[in-house]
Amino acid sequence: MNKNVLKSGVILPLLKVVTRLKLSQLEVSKEWDELFERKEKKQFIKNLAKKIKKTRYCSPIVVVKSDDKYIIVDGVLRFLALKDLNLNEVDCIILEKSPDSSDIFKDWIIEFNINSVPTIEERKRLLSHYFRIIATESELDESTYNEKYKFISEQYGRGWGRNNVITFKKALIFEKENPNNTLDLSTKLLNNEVSFEKVNQVLKIFSNPKYNYDLGKESEAKILDGLLQNKYDLRKAESLIRQYNNKKEIGVTEIRPIINTSDERFMILPGNSLDTKFPQGTVINGILTSIPYFNQIEYSDKNSKNTEFEIGREKKPESFVRNIVAIMKIGSDNMTNDGAIIINLHDSYQDGICVGVVALLIIEMQKAGFLFIDQVIWQKSNNKPQGNKTKRFVNGYESILIFSKSKDYYYDQLKIYDPTRSATVKKGCSEQGNKGANLKHSYHISNQYRTIRNFLCDNDIEQILKLNISRERSQQDGLQNGFFGSFPTLLPIPFILSFFPENGTVWDPFGGTGTTGRAALMLNRKVIISELYDKNIPKISEVLERGISEYNENEYLTLKNDFLSNEHDLQNVA
């Protein structure tokens, strides 16, 4: 028998000899009865008695002397089994010193029994006493707590480092303060059902006021339960919490589901794009969006709701780019394999130096597994002048980056319009526009489609798109409120025609004024718009309704026949 025993990192001296004592001299302490339930031990004691009778051996019982009695520290069940066998004596090891308090005595009992208790509930009960979480017990100083952390870490071994032991202790405290919670964090830890990291994340969410999330909300939303079950990671859980709180505060916004009818072809999703959760079964054919500039335009004042989630306000360009890529991944998860991602993005300048967010985004998108197909230049014919102190050429363009999910992305080649071809719509009507094209039959083209045709003719399907930045913006006409930072309605036209199939669904994660949606609806596509600020949703809805009303099947078919090859030749895209 070892002459020493470990107690909270401290070696307790034992007598060098085993002493035989009468059972009548031994006593079970009240502390043991506070830690264990005798009724639960009846069958175990019965089986232990049979084993002792058969082997004729019983390990020495550890005791401490108190007046004329010996109080059992370790071996209560053996003592009770011996009494059932009507034996009179037992070998004992006597501790040389007595405990200073009842709490210390409990610690000794726990340290002897921590690895031998058969049930999770008993282990939790013992550890709650050990860490002084039970209300009647006193607080310990930091040094003593450190000794206890070390002891438990050594007893439980791998995976139970000091920080993890502290996390377990926090879980016990949380459960004491919230006895009706159903997460059962400490049990899951002892059963190895969850990681200490996940439990720590859950506890931080509950304790941090910025999340505004409590057990009442958890009982309804079950967000942290999903995190514990590894259904998603912490970032997604945080997004779901923000989304849940937003819906609780403003109510659920009624959205129009995308179904196969001509008058219900768009959906508006309010909230942060990083929190986007598409309705079950949603499938998109691609993404087309204009990203907010990095650290240049603030789309709402600092006191507005959701400002903290506005893309473009990040402190570092790397964070800005990571957020964009995360949003594209959300779309990709709901995208057909032949889907394309088209991003309009302007670079930013700080103290006269280019930040390089366009290059950063290309690299990070490639790292994320997306294929970089092309970079198209949007040339602005009347760009803003710059100050005399700016030491670079006038910046008269923005980039349009094209990525795909796979090599087999959808593509329908735009072709140069042949004015000698016959028009097929509304023969006999007076022709409007088309810049004097010599058509065999005159026909009427509405202003919207005429403008689209002229734009496609002017650009001749080049990698440089020329477009006036002060005209043809979607917000200029008939909207309820002004808006800045939008891009021209014509800009998405060639990309929608070439990269997204007819009746396919396009997602714009940065809704703005609904420019992408209006163009997509006029070209017989469906659209999903995400928008951070509720105040913009009426404007977006108005623009999308306009896109539906402007759609003309005959004019669209003529446009398609005149400007699309109607062949998806994927071999010639090098």
Q: What is the mean pLDDT of residues 406-427?
A: 64
pTM over 0.85: no
**What pLDDT shows up at residue 395?**
66
Question: At residue 477, does pLDDT exceed 80?
Answer: no
Eight-state DSSP code of residue 119 = S
Q: Would 251 be classed as within a structural domain?
A: no
For 333-365, the pLDDT digits (tens) are 999 999 999 998 888 777 778 888 899 999 999
The DSSP string of 133-157 is -STTSPP--HHHHHHHHHHHHHHH-
Instruction: Calculate the average pLDDT of the chain.
Output: 78
Rounded mean pLDDT of 87-108? 88
Question: What per-residue confidence (pLDDT) applies to 215?
Answer: 92
> What is the 3-state secondary structure of 249-292?
HHCCCCCCCCCCCCCCCEEEEECCHHHCCCCCCCCEEEEEEECC
Residue 187 scores a pLDDT above 50: yes
> Is 10 domain-assigned?
yes
In a domain, 556, yes or no: no
pLDDT digits (tens, 9 = 90+) for 220-236: 889 999 899 988 888 77
Q: Is the pLDDT of residue 302 over 80?
A: no
Whether 121 is in a domain gets the answer no
pLDDT bucket at 154, cuts 50 / 70 / 90 = confident
- Of the candidates 216, 188, 284, the one whose C-alpha atom is nearest the C-alpha of residue 517 is 284
pLDDT in tens, 509-551: 988 778 889 999 989 999 999 988 777 888 888 888 888 878 8
Residue 291 forms part of a structural domain: yes
Task: Please enumerate, as own/partner, the contacts of 207-212 that have beta carbons within 8 Å and a separation of 24 or more.
Answer: 211/238, 211/241, 212/241, 212/245
Question: What's 368's domain CATH number?
Answer: 3.40.50.150
Q: Is residue 498 part of a domain?
A: yes
Of the candidate ranges 86-100, 392-406, 456-470, the one whose mean pLDDT is the lowest: 456-470
Considering only 23-27, 76-80, 289-293, 435-439, which range has the smallest mean pLDDT?
Answer: 435-439
Domain count, the chain: 2
Residue 90 lies in a domain: yes
pLDDT of residue 447: 63
Q: How would you class 485 by CB atoms within 10 Å of its CB: exposed for 0-12, middle for 13-18, buried for 19 or more?
A: middle
**CATH code: domain of residue 111:** 3.90.1530.10
Least confident of 50-54, 267-271, 306-310: 306-310
Write out the residue range of the structural domain in which residue 76 sits. 1-115
Domain finish residue from 99, 115, 131: 115
Residue 15 lies in a domain: yes
Q: Which of 115, 134, 156 is the last residue of a domain?
A: 115
pLDDT at 298: 55
- Give CA–CA dist 376/455, Å, rounded: 16
